[in-house]
Amino acid sequence: MRVAVCMKQVPDTEARLRVHRDGSWIDEEDLAFVINESDEYALEEALRIAEKSGGEVVVISLGPERVKEALRKGLALGAARAIHLKDEAFLGGDALATGKALAAAIGKEEFDLVLTGSQSDDVGYGGTGSVVAGHLGWPHAWLVMGIEIEEGGAHAKVTREMESGLNEILRIALPAVFEVQAGINHPRYASLKGIMKAKRKPMAEPTLEELGLNPEGVGSAGSRIEVVSVAFPESGAGAEIIEGDPEEAAQVLVDKLRKEAKVL
Amino acid sequence: MKIWIVLEQKDGELHRMSREAIAAAQGLAAATGGGSVDAVLLGGGIATLAEKVAGGYALGSVRVADHPNLAAYTPGGYVAALSAAIAAAAPDWVVFPHTYQSVDYMARLAQGLGAGLLPEVTAFEEDAQGLLFSRPVLGGKLVAKVRVRGEGTMLLSVQSGAWAAESAQAGSGELVTLDGDLAAAKPDREILGVEEVGGEQVDLTKAEVIVAAGRGVGGADKMGVIEDLAAALGAEIAASRPVIDNGWLPRDRQIGSSGQTVAPKLYIAAGISGAIQHTVGMKGSAVVVAINKDPGAPIFSLSNYGIVGDLHEVLPALTKAIRRAKEL
Ligand SMILES: Cc1cc2nc3c(=O)[nH]c(=O)nc-3n(C[C@H](O)[C@H](O)[C@H](O)COP(=O)(O)OP(=O)(O)OC[C@H]3O[C@@H](n4cnc5c(N)ncnc54)[C@H](O)[C@@H]3O)c2cc1C
């Protein structure tokens, strides 16, 4: 099986976020970036499928220069090659524009399967993989919690998360795009050997022309929505914050839970 | 403005969020010139529900696609049925409830139609340049204001809890058949079955007190502070998704949109940021206590009491204080 994995780099969930001076987005200076959580699970799933079937994994990321770090991590974990869509024109797209560019890169080669994460932890449009599938004319499934490739590789048995603790078991023809949900597996760690080997693995940087795309059709220019500002949410009534060192605060809280809220 | 809403139903019952989405679509219609909203209902054997919807809500029409191909949801069936109808009528807006089902096919539908996509809207307002939509970003830590540009249909989904279902205007609408050849709306996946996640479920809905662990706990070997507090309180232990994904607790202890929905007397959230997918599962709790080292964590905004600090210091102190109180 030849499996492509689309990965996005997003701010570390641990990072303290600040709004940029111009208010249009967060301040990315000095911000730590990591591979989007569900994409990491997608990569692990792809590696397992390729190992089992004797194939290869290609990692693809659209983003500025910094996303090379995410791609290198993918290579260190076992992907054979990387593709980086780095042209300025690709950046800032909505799910439709980003999916279109990714599909153009994927469509240049022959893959049996494309995996993406279910949703990015930054803008969270949750549709990029489905858009890729649409362009390729393949079936897709979102929120995938299990993939079993059937003997012969013509179909996959897929577990899809539904609401309220239920899973749906599906049978889907390949090639297909599956948008993987966090928790599907337990991702491996990169080995030192893997990290060394990654340095020699190829990283392609296809241009717009090579992918047959117009700058107006991708990235921010090709998007129907535009984020004009971000802000911390108004906290509404909000919690009564109990101050003091841990011992004091704990005692005050217990008193309040007993006497005020009457739940203890 | 021509506004449509695609209602979600299962087994002849409207999804809870469909009513919220009706309220949102009616609000959008009022803000953009006061036209009526046309509803679309897809399924198989849904005549009774269609009549109920047409007799229940203030809608221009209820366009029904009732066909065996649509009896079970598949993106193939739904996208084909909706594409043909949307392409023919060219509505300006098509509103969806932001459910796991809608997200599965909305982007695909937009791509096929050449329409725009605006998922997970929580509010809209109007300024000099037109409509400005709010949606959560970065796990709900920030809210983004988004503008729509360009021409043609926009597909928009409405996040859970953003509009009140009760504010959906009652009235009636004309029952009509959705345009298009439904025999051609073929399923693109075979549904083999449905199963409960994690097999036998621990029922957390009956717990009076819940101590919920988040990623902030930091590891399976660090769950002791949660266990001790739960023991002191006689509480059930629950968790946010990453705790389960990382294998620190079994899947049947997950609270949220993919897990259980609980409403205990007391919910203590430790090291949980408060993403919407978690809070939909616990916001009905009578009293919420949040312990988080980040004073800006969204969980504080729906908590009654909060302590800003390291949970590994606060929880042991809390356990001790509770034990002391119980001895009195
Ligand atoms: C389709 C879909 C379905 C989902 N379903 C669910 C679901 O059912 N349930 C669910 O919970 N999530 C679900 N999620 C995930 C959800 O979006 C969030 O990612 C998740 O809830 C975050 O969990 P968290 O708050 O534990 O982790 P984080 O968001 O990483 O937050 C960790 C928090 O811990 C704090 N912290 C760190 N260290 C400490 C310390 N030492 N002391 C005190 N505080 C500390 C941090 O300040 C932070 O606020 C779903 C996501 C998707 C896309």
Give dist(CA B284, CA B247) in Å, integer: 27
What are the phi and psi torsion angles at A87 (to 5°)?
Answer: -55, 135
- Cα-Cα-Cα-Cα torsion B62, B63, B66, B71, nearest 10 degrees, comes to -80
In chain B, CATH 3.40.50.1220 sits at 204-327
Could you identify the residue written with the tokens 């009491």? B305
Q: Tens place of pLDDT for every residue, chain A, 264 residues?
A: 999 999 999 999 889 999 999 999 999 999 999 999 999 999 999 999 999 999 999 999 999 999 999 999 999 999 999 999 999 999 999 999 999 999 999 999 999 999 999 999 999 999 999 999 999 999 999 999 999 999 999 999 999 999 988 999 999 999 999 999 999 999 999 999 999 999 999 999 999 999 999 999 999 999 999 999 999 987 666 899 999 999 999 999 999 999 999 999
Pocket test for ligand 1, best of B273, B289, B302, B303 (most atoms within 8 A of CB): B273
Angstrom distances, CA of residue B307 to CA of A53, B296, B317: 51, 12, 12
pLDDT in tens, B264-302: 999 999 999 999 999 999 999 999 999 999 999 999 999
pLDDT (0 to 100) of residue A236: 65
Q: In chain B, where does the domain assigned CATH 3.40.50.620 lie?
A: 2-184
Q: What is the DSSP letter of B202?
A: P
Mean pLDDT over B221-235 rounds to: 98
How far apart CA B272 and CA B31 sit, in angstroms, is 36
C-alpha B206 – ligand 1 centre gap (Å): 23
What phi and psi values does residue A107 have, to the nearest 5 degrees?
A: -65, -15
CA distance A188 to A40: 9
pLDDT at A233: 86
Q: CB of B262 closer than 6 A to ligand 1?
A: no
CATH class of B204-327: alpha beta
Tens digit of each residue's pLDDT (9 = 90 or more) over B87-124:
999 999 999 999 999 999 999 999 999 999 999 999 99
Tokens representing residue A30 in the block: 């000095």
CB contact under 8 A, B260 and A165: yes
With contacts defined as CB-CB under 8 Å, which chain B residues touch A172? 188-190
Q: Find out if CATH 3.40.190.10 is the number for domain B2-184.
A: no
Domain A2-222: what homologous superfamily?
HUPs (3.40.50.620)
Mean pLDDT, chain B, rounded, equals: 96
Instruction: Dump pLDDT digits (tens) for B17-37.
Output: 999 999 999 999 999 988 899
Per-position DSSP letters for B98-155, written without gaps between them? --HHHHHHHHHHHHHHT-EEEEEE-EEEEETTEEEEEEEEGGGTEEEEEEE-SSS-EE
Q: What is the pLDDT of residue B251?
A: 92
Segment B157-184, tens digit of pLDDT = 999 999 999 999 999 999 999 999 999 9
With a CB-CB cutoff of 8 Å, which residues 52-81 of chain A face chain B?
none
pLDDT of residue B99: 98
ipTM value? 0.96
Q: Do A230 and B144 touch (CB under 8 A)?
A: yes
- Say if residue B298 is preceded by a cis peptide, omega within 30 of 0: no
Ligand 1 mean position, distance from CA B211 (Å): 15
Q: For residues A168 and B62, what is the distance between their CA atoms, to the nearest angstrom? A: 29
The domains of chain A are located at 2-222
Q: Is the pTM of this model over 0.95?
A: yes
* Cα distance between residue B296 and residue B237, in whole Å: 25
Closest to B228 (Cα-Cα) out of B327, B310, B320, B326: B320
List, as ranges, residues 201-260 from A with C-beta within 8 Å of B: 223-233, 235-242, 246-247, 249-251, 253-254, 256-258
